[in-house]
Structure formats: structure tokens, C-alpha cells
Amino acid sequence: MSAQLPDISRRRFIVSASLAATAVCVVPHRVFGGEESLVLASRKAGETANITVQALRGNISALIGSGGNIAVLPGGDGKLIIDSGFLGTRGKISAALSSLSPDPIKHLINTHWHFDHTDGNEWMHSAGATITAHENTRKHLSTATRVEDWNFTFPALPAGAIPTDVFNADKTLHLNGATIALKHYEPAHTDGDISIYFTETDVLHTGDTWWNGYYPFIDYSTGGSLNGMIKAAEANLAMVTDKTIVVPGHGPIGGKKEMIEFRDVLTTIRNRVVALKKEGESLNEIVAAKPTAAYDAKWGSGFVNGEFFTKLVYKGVG
Ligand SMILES: [Zn+2]
């Protein structure tokens, strides 16, 4: 019994160390399948996370450090915020928002339903935000939802945390002098992913259809698709030029060059797994063949390591 304690402590230490090192909420895969759910470990890490404010362009800023990357556009119509981070980081997120401008919080957009992008919904709604999202995001937040790969069942969120301004295709908002295009993807990371494009300033928030420098999670429990992820990566590339500033769901702010790399890594690994499967290799044999090996040092240090990503790809190639 007691022999397990150092192991648990070590896991927590690794979570904290990872946050400190990267200022991005990435949790090692080793918490998967253990007694501590990835969800609980991530939320705990959020309690001590620091928020970095990064000015982007045209008064848009990113708040990095609590779950998925947050973007903010202040102005006379009230602050527009993309994704709400972890509840445990509320104080630091509030302080960062106040440092940008005195405008009240009025609008929150969820890129998708996952907890690391929506745990702050309730407090932001209490502060004055109307919540906008795809209708599938509202559906998943409104009911108990199990994610098998996280070994966790999320209860329905309280009424105030659930998006009330929902849409099922694309939608355009006009706020704070900006034209803001919301685009829904075919099933990719989930079935409710949207991106947000600030037209005049050429700033794009991709939500979790793009992870900059990390293998992405694909949530098959709520409609995710590997081929959909690759199609979303192509669709994102079609939206940007070399000048576009792009906020990924996870990882540092980047642009077209890094998005091409992400698309190529996904495509290459998919093709390798497809080829091994065609040769009759089992899942265990394919994992042992390490089809991600060349990429693991750069891409496997976060939320999804090479082995876990191989399993996600295997599941996604039919
Ligand atoms: Zn997600």
C-alpha cells in the first residue's frame, strides 16, 4: 500500500513541473489509467497555474496557462472571450482580464465542450457573459458525458454554464468593431468544434483542431474522427496566409508554418499505421513498432504521448 504513495506524489510533481516548464496545461500520459484521472490531475494543476498574457494584434490578446488557450477582444461592447479555462485559475484569469481593460465581460465563445475550455463558463456567465457555441457543445454540456479515454464521466453543467446562443453551421458576429467568423468543422476533435476568425486583424483561434507542437487528443466518445482532424488541419491551412496569427487550442501561438508541420505529422503517422494494419499487425504489434518514434521528442511530451497517439490513430483508421 505505502509503496504506491511515492508514485502518486511523483505524478503530481510531474504535472506541476510540466506546467512550470511550458506554461501550457499539458499533463503526462502516465496519469492515464491510474487511480488519478487525467481530468482531476489537470484541474488540480490549474489551481496553481500561472497566466501569461500575450498581445497578438488589433487589441486581441491571448491568455495562456489554464487549460485551452484563451483569446480576448475588449471594447465598447464588453469583453469577448474565447474559452474559459479551469475554475481553479479564476483569480488569475480575472486579474489578467482586468489588466487588459475595464470593459465588463459580456461574451464568451466555447470552441468545443471539453472541460479545459469550459470549466470557467459558470463564473464568466455570472460576471455577465452570454455563451455562444455549436449546438453539439451545448448538447454535451447539458447531459452527463463519459470520455472513456479519460476514465471520467462529466456531469451536466449547471444552467448558467450552458451556452444559450447556439448555431449549427457557421455564424458571424459584429462586436467591438470586429467581424468575427465562427466556422463549424465536420467531426474532428469532437463533433462540435468551431474556429473563430477575426477578419480585419487576421487572427484565428482554431480551438483543439490544432495543437501546436503536441499530438492532439481525438475524442471518439463525442464524435471525434482522425480523418476529420486531418481535414480540419487542411481547412485551417486554407484559411491562413503567412501573416495570419493563429492561436492553437494548446501550445504556443503560431502560424501557417507550424500548421503545415502538424498536418504532415498527422498524415504521416496515419499512413504508417494504415500500412502496418494492412500487413495484418495487431494493435500491440503496431504500438511496439513505434510508428511515431521520429516525432515523439518534439510532439509527445504533452497530454498525448507517442504510444497513446498511436492507439488513437489505430482506433481512427477503421
Ligand atoms: Zn479538447
Residue-wise pLDDT for 146-173, tens only, equals: 999 999 999 999 999 999 999 999 999 9
**101 CA distance to ligand 1 middle (Å):** 28
Q: Among positive and negative, which fits the CA dihedral 109, 72, 249, 254?
A: positive
Contacts 24+ apart (CB under 8 A), 295-299: 295/215, 295/265, 295/269, 298/213, 299/213, 299/214, 299/215, 299/265
pTM, 2 dp: 0.90
Cα–Cα distance for residue pair 40/198, rounded to 1 Å: 33
Are 201 and 57 a contacting pair, CB within 8 Å? yes
Q: How buried is 26 (Cβ within 10 angstroms: 0-12 exposed, 13-18 middle, 19+ buried)?
A: buried
pLDDT at 6: 34
pLDDT at 12: 35
**217 CA distance to ligand 1 middle (Å):** 7
pLDDT at 20: 33
Pairing of the two strands 105-109 and 79-82: parallel
pLDDT at 318: 77
- Whether 11 has a pLDDT exceeding 90, the answer reads no
**266 CA distance to ligand 1 middle (Å):** 17
Q: Among positive and negative, which fits the CA dihedral 156, 159, 161, 162?
A: positive
pLDDT at 303: 85
Ion ligand 1: residues, CB within 5 A, are 114, 208
**76 CA distance to ligand 1 middle (Å):** 30
Query: Nine-digit cell at 196?
Result: 473563430
**272 CA distance to ligand 1 middle (Å):** 25
E strands in 14-168: 52-57, 60-64, 70-73, 79-82, 105-109, 130-134, 145-147, 152-154, 165-167
DSSP state string for 160-215: GGS-SEEESS-EEEEETTEEEEEEEPSSSSSSS-EEEEETTTTEEE-GGG-BTTSP
**278 CA distance to ligand 1 middle (Å):** 30
pLDDT at 34: 47
CB-based burial, 92-102: b 16+ in 10 Å, e otherwise: bbbebbeebbe
pLDDT at 37: 85
Cα–Cα distance for residue pair 209/194, rounded to 1 Å: 8
- Residues 6+ positions from 252 with CB-CB distance below 8 Å: 24, 64, 212, 213
**1 CA distance to ligand 1 middle (Å):** 34
**109 CA distance to ligand 1 middle (Å):** 14
How confident is the model over 200-225, as a mean pLDDT?
Answer: 98
Residue 122 CA: distances (Å) to CA of 44, 115, 163, 193, 293: 18, 12, 10, 20, 41
Cα–Cα distance for residue pair 211/248, rounded to 1 Å: 5
**211 CA distance to ligand 1 middle (Å):** 10
How confident is the model over 262-266, as a mean pLDDT?
Answer: 98
pLDDT at 13: 32
Query: Nine-digit cell at 139?
Result: 448538447
* Residue 156 identity (one-letter amino acid): A
- Whether 196 has a pLDDT exceeding 70, the answer reads yes
pLDDT at 1: 33
* First CA to last CA distance, the chain: 41
**207 CA distance to ligand 1 middle (Å):** 8
- Whether 174 has a pLDDT exceeding 50, the answer reads yes
> Angle at the Cα of 251 (from 94 to 83), degrees rounded to 5?
40
